[in-house]
Copies of this chain bind each other. A is one copy, B any other.
Amino acid sequence: MMKEPKEVLQIFKPFSVLVEQEIMRVLEGCPRLLMYDMMRYFFGFADEKGTPTRVYGGKRFRSGLCMLIADMFGKKNKALQAASAIETFHNFTLIHDDIEDHDEFRRGRRTVWNVWGINHGINTGDAQLIVAFRMLAKAGETRDFLEKKFLEVIEGQFLDFTLTDMAITDEKATETAYIEVIRRKTVALIGAAAQAAGIVAKQPTHVQKLLWTYGTELGYAYQMCDDLVSIWGDPTMTGKTKHNDMYEKKKTLPILFLYNILSSREQKMLGNLYSKTGKLSEKEVARIIKLLDASGAYEYTRAKIENHAKAAKKAAYALPFSEKKRATLSRIVDALLPDIKRTCDHS
């Protein structure tokens, strides 16, 4: 499973072009207000002045997945509204996430709140959420399904805050709690993107279920991979700040695994570090990395990722598609998961 992110972009390219066109078309139909230029900016359709440009605005992987699967059913056009709504919704969540996490940059560009202030960040996000819902108005049978999934994503964000605010020593700060967070915050939308394609194509329930399984298993693997990368990934390959999750004391899967197997003396030490206010120091992060390296957390997380990737591929191969199409879905799983062994400094 050792592909460049570039390959993912290539697979989704013919679809992301259509989704981007549709989003641009919808924004074009909105009043001439700077607020809509902020959305264009965040999508990568405009610069800070509102001047049209095209810069990288994300992998468009969720909407791309929806369109690609719909296309396999011969229903690409029918999925366009659902896919555009998913992409618009996903980017709305990022606009608000950036405020909540105080992130000043994303995809190498200033975040919306960083350019226009927190109030505009909140309000433009609100507007974009409504724009996503307006797109769903034309999304036929997927409308109700996706609206429910969107609410689950917000519930996931709530659970994420809750887990973040918990002391790592809290008995509720478990892998189960972590899974519950990512299930709603990340996995639900990826599963929904896959299943929406089946709904659009009026596929029977068992096919829709397989699509849901494919999307959600892919989602789990994707999120856990993200956790792994933040600890062991090479920042020049991933584009992320090295050990960012560690500095921010995020309770990701490797950390929760580590805590569980530590001696009570070490648990206390980690608990103290994690209960400090503010970011950890370089020295403190190095200390935790050393513990992580020796703990088997890497192998544990990696095995989990492999299991989810396998489950996603199994679902792909059970779908009523040609061998070629199944292979494409299987390749997407590998292409989306960065090659952590190669990019990491874990030996």
Contacts and interface: CB of A to CB of B under 8 A. Distances in A.
10 contacts: A33-B155, A96-B122, A100-B118, A119-B161, A124-B158, A126-B154, A130-B147, A133-B133, A134-B148, A137-B144
A162 B31 CA distance: 15
A159 interface: yes
A127 B33 contact: no
A127 B155 contact: yes
Contacts of A34: 158, 162
A99 interface: yes
A158 B124 CA distance: 8
A220 interface: no
Nearest to A154: B127
Contacts of A148: 134
Q: Is the interface of A mostly helix, strand, loop or mixed?
A: helix
Given A96-B122, A123-B154, 12 more contacts: A33-B159, A34-B158, A34-B162, A96-B123, A100-B119, A124-B158, A126-B126, A126-B154, A127-B151, A127-B155, A133-B133, A133-B147
A240 interface: no
A150 interface: yes
Given A96-B122, A100-B122, A122-B96, A130 B151 contact: yes
A151 B133 CA distance: 10
B123 A100 contact: yes
Contacts of A158: 33-35, 120, 123-124, 127
